[in-house]
């Protein structure tokens, strides 16, 4: 089935999951989680500019939140990638909803980082400009691959935020990251549920998409100061380790999709499933 036909065939499932998501997602307020009393002006308005000793946040907390805000700030790039594919009816409303949620994540982390002086705001702004200008280009994907990939990315993001909550050593950071992780998990469920419907509709085609995306999956890497990159630093900090992707990202979703127990596959689907079995899990 081509992508246009799939968009139409899956639209009722998208509509249903849009409602499920709306009912389950807590409409939390980013300003509630930021300790505004700790803030003060920068030199431009007569206060004092940032200096490293102004923050007591752990290095792990600074790293993980810097990656978190830059990943969310690059949301217009992801929005463009999604919007290329999901342009009709409930799909389009989902793109809007997802984008607004990601924007809330960047708002709350940025407010926290700048207000508590956890990181150099000038350096952060410089990296944000570079990151957004360099843009993000996803590999060319068909519709089901886009959905599978998004389910993997939201899973990875929720793991990153849950670990940041645990390892940053700060209750305010934990509060922020738990909220974001809960949103990520609901977003993961949205994409994963549409993949369930795609598997029922076109099992061989969906199995092929899953095998290809497991093989090709990479979390987006964020450039950091001094030429470091987020993937290496997060792995070293125990926040997100790509070596554990099979166990933590792929396996739970392959189980949800009932990949290894399905009995409705044709020759092409069986071939894709064999690849999956030998690939990683």
Judged by CB under 5 A, does residue 73 bind Fe ion? no
| Distance from C-alpha of 238 to C-alpha of 230, rounded to nearest angstrom | 12
Q: Which of residues 157-176 bind Fe ion (CB under 5 A)?
A: 157
Length of the chain equals 281
Nearest approach, Cβ of residue 2 and Fe ion (Å): 28
Q: How many CB atoms lie within 10 A of CB 236?
A: 11
Runs of H (alpha helix) within 202-245: 203-216, 230-237, 245
Applying CB under 5 A, which of residues 184, 185, 189, 233 lies at the interface with Fe ion?
A: 184
Contact assessment for residue 39 and residue 33, using Cβ atoms and an 8 Å cutoff: no
**Please, which residues have CB within 8 angstroms of residue 117's CB and are 6 or more apart in sequence?**
50, 51, 54, 55
Nearest approach, Cβ of residue 12 and Fe ion (Å): 24
# of chain residues touching Fe ion (CB under 5 A): 4
Could you list the residues known to form a binding site for Fe cation, using ranges: 102, 105, 154
Closer residue to Fe ion, CB minimum distance, 160 or 273: 160
Residue 229 DSSP one-character state: B
Stretch that binds Fe ion, among 148-156, 222-230, 237-245, 268-276 (CB under 5 A): 148-156
Closer residue to Fe ion, CB minimum distance, 120 or 153: 153
Closest chain position to Fe ion (CB): 184
Taking Cα atoms as reference points, which of 10, 71, 25 lies closest to residue 189?
Answer: 25
Taking Cα atoms as reference points, which of 64, 48, 171 lies closest to residue 109?
Answer: 64
Closer residue to Fe ion, CB minimum distance, 128 or 271: 128
Could you list the residues known to form a binding site, using ranges: 102, 105, 154
Stretch that binds Fe ion, among 149-157, 159-167, 171-179, 213-221 (CB under 5 A): 149-157
- Chain residues that interact with Fe ion, rule: CB under 5 A: 154, 157, 184, 187
């Amino acid at each position: 089935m081509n992508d246009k036909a799939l968009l139409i065939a899956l639209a009722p499932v998208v509509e249903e999951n849009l409602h499920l998501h709306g009912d389950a997602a807590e409409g939390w307020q980013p300003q509630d989680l930021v300790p505004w009393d700790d803030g003060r002006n920068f030199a431009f308005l007569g206060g004092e500019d940032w200096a490293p000793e102004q923050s007591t946040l752990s290095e792990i907390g600074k790293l993980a939140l810097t990656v978190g805000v830059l990943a969310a700030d690059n949301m217009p790039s992801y929005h463009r990638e999604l919007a290329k594919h999901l342009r009709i009816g409930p799909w389009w409303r989902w793109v809007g909803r997802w984008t607004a949620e990601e924007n809330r994540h960047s708002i709350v982390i940025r407010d926290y980082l700048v207000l508590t002086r956890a990181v150099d705001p000038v350096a952060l702004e410089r990296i944000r400009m570079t990151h957004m200008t360099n843009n993000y280009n996803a590999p060319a994907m068909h519709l089901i691959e886009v959905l599978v990939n998004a389910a993997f990315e939201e899973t990875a993001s929720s793991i990153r935020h849950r670990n940041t909550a645990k390892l940053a050593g700060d209750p305010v950071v934990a509060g922020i990251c738990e909220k974001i992780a809960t949103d990520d998990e609901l977003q993961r469920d949205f994409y994963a549920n549409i993949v369930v419907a795609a598997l029922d509709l076109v099992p061989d085609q969906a199995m092929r998409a899953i095998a290809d995306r497991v093989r090709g999956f990479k979390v987006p890497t964020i450039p950091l100061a001094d030429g470091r990159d987020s993937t290496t630093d997060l792995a070293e900090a125990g926040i997100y380790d790509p070596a554990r992707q099979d166990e933590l990202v792929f396996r739970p979703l392959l189980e949800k999709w009932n990949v290894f127990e399905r009995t409705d596959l044709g020759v092409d689907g069986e071939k894709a499933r064999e690849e999956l079995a030998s690939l990683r899990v």
